[in-house]
Amino acid sequence: MQSPLGATNSSFGTIGVVDDEIRAGPKRSSALLGRYQDVFFGTSLELGKGYLSSISLVFTAGEYAGSTLSVEGPVLGLTGTIERAVVGGTGKFRLARGYMLFKMISKPTPETDVNEVHLFVLMSRHAKHD
């Protein structure tokens, strides 16, 4: 759906999809831990002011291999630290709750960026990974 303000004045109705690497550190040589998969929708009539984001953190290596975290919430601007809610998970993260802090730390090329992610997660003592 195009914005009532016109295509150049808003990101309303835009859809984006992300499938990025999760690494243990900011360097390309850091251990690969999994994938950061996101779908986001422009929800604000003002350009770049609001998106709704649904993220799956899919862990493929390390202690949490085979587990996922689900992160949801609005993005109310694209600068500074962005906070979103951890709303659940699978495997070792069953019944997980908490929050994620997300911040861009560098943009090595126009096509790439490096982001820092901090997860604060409460996990159920009864959740078991089969």
Q: Domain for residue 60, yes or no?
A: yes
Tell me: the pLDDT tens digits for 26-66? 888 999 999 999 999 988 777 667 889 999 999 999 999 99
Tokens at 42, concatenated: 């422009």
Residue 40 belongs to some domain of the structure: yes
The whole-model pTM stands at 0.83
Q: What one-letter code names the amino acid at 121? A: V
Assigned domain for 56 exists: yes
* 9 inside domain: no
Angular region, 80: left φ>0, alpha ψ -120 to 50, beta rest:
left
Question: Residue 10 domain-assigned?
Answer: no
What's the pLDDT tens digit per position in 107-118?
888 888 888 999
Tokens of 9: 């004045």
Q: Is there a domain that residue 93 lies in?
A: yes
When divided into structural domains, the chain yields a total of 1
Residue-number span of the structural domain to which 32 is assigned: 15-122
27: burial class by Cβ within 10 Å (0-12, 13-18, 19+)? exposed
* Residue from 41, 50, 100 nearest 71 by CA: 100
Say if 8 falls within a structural domain. no
